[in-house]
Structure formats: C-alpha cells, structure tokens
Amino acid sequence: MALTYKTRRRLALLVLCVGLPAYIVLAVTLVDLIERPSLFVELAIYVGLGFLWMLPLRPLFLGIGQPDPDADQTMK
C-alpha cells in the first residue's frame, strides 16, 4: 500500500521530531558503553551512525520538499 503525499509528509515530520532525537540518545548511549575511544574513532562512530539512520528512511523523505503531485493543478 503506497502512502499518500500528505501522510508521507506527516510521517517524515514525526520521524524528524521524535525519532531522530531518540536515535541520537541511543547513539550517545551506545558510544558511552564503550570505554572512551580516541577522538577520531568516536567521530567515525557518530558519522557512521548518522548515515545508518537515514538508509531505511530514504524512501519516506524522497520528494517531500516538492509540491503535492496530487493537488489540483488549476490552483496555481
């Protein structure tokens, strides 16, 4: 079942406002479990985790910044 444009926008907003901060807390907690790594290792972990969160959500965010394709074209 394909999501409508409006549903995708709302879901993307929910992911950014709730899911992303929760993921950041989880990432910091995971790095904290390891004894303090060197600065470059810690940076690499955060960069890797930063890319990891967006891979499964990429289809959700594609096209969100574009005008609604289902909107009436005569309203322009």
Q: Using one digit for the tens of pLDDT, what is the confidence trace for 26-64?
A: 999 988 888 888 899 999 999 999 899 889 989 888 888
pLDDT-based confidence at residue 21 (cuts at 50, 70, 90): very high
User: Residue 45 falls within a domain, yes or no?
Assistant: yes
Task: Give the chain's domain count.
Answer: 1
User: Residue 10 falls within a domain, yes or no?
Assistant: yes
Token pair of 46 as six digits: 């955060």
User: Residue 66 falls within a domain, yes or no?
Assistant: no
Residue spans of alpha helices (H) in 1-76: 5-14, 20-33, 39-52, 58-61
User: Residue 18 falls within a domain, yes or no?
Assistant: yes
User: Residue 75 falls within a domain, yes or no?
Assistant: no
Domain extent, residue 18, equals 5-61
pLDDT-based confidence at residue 67 (cuts at 50, 70, 90): confident
User: Residue 20 falls within a domain, yes or no?
Assistant: yes
pLDDT-based confidence at residue 17 (cuts at 50, 70, 90): very high
Q: Enter the pTM of the model.
A: 0.75
pLDDT-based confidence at residue 12 (cuts at 50, 70, 90): very high
